Amino acid sequence: MRKVLGVLLVTCLLAATPFIFTACEEEEAPSEGQLPTWEVGDEWVWSYVMYGETYTLTEEIIGEERVEGRDCYVVDMSFEPVLSYTQDSMVSTVTGMKYWSDKATGIYGVKMEMSGSYDGTDFIMTTISSYSSWEPLFPLEIGKEIETEKTDTQYFDDTQTGEPTVTTEKYRVDSKETVTVSAGTFSCWKIVIEDGAGNITQTVWWSDQVKSMVKSIDADGNTLMELLSYSVS
């Protein structure tokens, strides 16, 4: 059971991006490439693709907390329809997800929590992440690169499950591009994400105006997330 739930949580983690790359008219132009400041109530609505199914994903800032010695934003995630995963005829249903984003660097993965049910039994899965370097990608500049080693430790109902996993993540600010999505047309920073072997895993387009990304694609060019609407302070 824990293995199946772990697969679902890891899948959700891989579909998101480890930096907060998460139409207001006549708003003051933001500073280019700077780490954004979020406020409670800021919200982004996405078209989100997983396993060939399309969901509406809403992310909302619901507070601030200190986790693992880091000051973090708390981000609530909700899916429509409800996110579920089936393996060997067993169904995992996700009823709630939250993540904690580091305010100082923009790294989202300080903590992630998923609650739901597996074959009728309620559960809470938590992942705590630490990094060999908390170096921020911000301020964004074309050509800027960072690399960090990430250690994930998973817990099932407060009990550690399995050994911590270690991965290497690389980020490169590739260029600036104008991108049109359902939420509008935006001037964006194109950011390429690679694994430790140098293989591209994701490409995202980050907008200063939106204070998050507006689009992400996988290594094959398939769209993973596209912004539908947003409301930011």
DSSP assignment of 67-106 equals ETTEEEEEEEEEEES--EEEETTEEEEEEEEEEEEETTT-
Does 174 fall in a domain? Answer: no
DSSP class per residue in 137-157: -PSP-TT-EEEEEEEEEEEET
pLDDT score of 186: 98
Structure tokens at 155: 């817990």
- Identify whether 90 is part of a domain: yes
| Residue 193 is assigned to a structural domain of this protein | no
* Residue 212 belongs to a domain: no
Q: Does a structural domain hold residue 156?
A: yes
In a domain, 213, yes or no: no
- The alpha carbon dihedral of 27, 34, 62, 215 has a sign of positive
**Per-residue model confidence (pLDDT) at position 30:** 58
pTM across the whole model: 0.86
The residue ranges of DSSP E strands in the chain, in sequence order, are: 43-50, 53-67, 70-80, 84-87, 90-102, 111-118, 121-131, 145-156, 159-160, 165-181, 184-195, 200-207, 212-218, 223-231
Query: Is 150:109 a contact under the CB 8 Å cutoff?
Result: yes
| DSSP helix/strand/coil, 19 | strand
| Residues pairing with 217 in the sheet | 203, 223
- Establish if 202 belongs to a structural domain: no
Q: Which residues contact 37 (CB under 8 A, 6 or more apart)?
A: 233
Domain count, the chain: 1
Residue linked to tokens 């909302």 = 60
- Each residue's pLDDT, cut to its tens digit, for the chain (233 residues) gives 433 333 344 334 434 444 554 433 334 445 799 999 999 999 999 999 988 889 999 999 999 999 999 999 999 999 999 988 788 888 889 999 999 999 999 887 899 999 999 888 999 999 999 999 888 999 999 999 999 999 999 999 999 999 999 999 999 999 999 999 999 999 999 999 999 999 999 999 999 999 999 999 999 999 999 999 999 98
- Per the CB < 8 A criterion, the answer to whether 57 and 78 are in contact is yes
Asked if the structure places residue 185 within a domain, the reply is no
> pLDDT value at position 23?
33
Q: What is the pLDDT of residue 25?
A: 33
DSSP 132: S
User: Domain range holding 56?
Assistant: 2-168+222-231
